[in-house]
Amino acid sequence: MQLKEMITADEIASIVRRMGTEISRDYEGKELLVVCVLKGSAIFFADLVRRLTCTTEMDFVRLTSYGANVTSSGNVVMTKDLDSCIEGRHVLIVEDIIETGHTTRFLVDLLANRRPASLKICTLLKKNVPEKPEIVVDYLGTAIEDRFVVGYGLDLNEKFRNLPSVCFLEK
């Protein structure tokens, strides 16, 4: 197994700057609760919230559907819920990657039932994968081909999260 760089650290920084500007513009004058989906989104989340100029609060959820596999089981489990009440608040979910869409759909459905004023999705990466549930991404970093990727928070069995770029695994 060999790692091949897909998105450089400089490209990621440029994407995060652009997204921070877009989100800040859209939430100007509003208070925003930014929700990090742990663990994979943590690095992207930290970089992104530092780019936001609107008033923000942060909260965290943890979901899993992979276990030790490289493909989703389709079975989503929440292991950490929000600490904040989101009723009547503007909420932005921050994902590292949307692959099958099952995890994001689970979270959106769960949070929508809590009656936020608005609920939007921000993701660094979205895989071009057919037959996934319709997920409207409000802020997209970039679309990528259907490869297993690691780095910049993304992992394989908890390894490679610390890489500054996004890489794919080549056998």
Q: Write out the catalytic residue numbers.
A: 99
User: What CA–CA distance (Å, rounded) separates 121 from 94?
Assistant: 6
113: nearest Cα among 141, 81, 140, 145 = 81
Q: Which two tokens stand for residue 6?
A: 């897909």
Closest Cα to residue 139, out of 56, 59, 40, 27?
Answer: 27
One-character DSSP codes across 44-75: HHHHHHTT--SEEEEEEEEEES-TTSSS--S-
3-state helix, strand and coil shares in percent for the chain, rounded to the nearest 5: 20, 35, 40
- In whole angstroms, give the CA distance from residue 130 to residue 163: 28
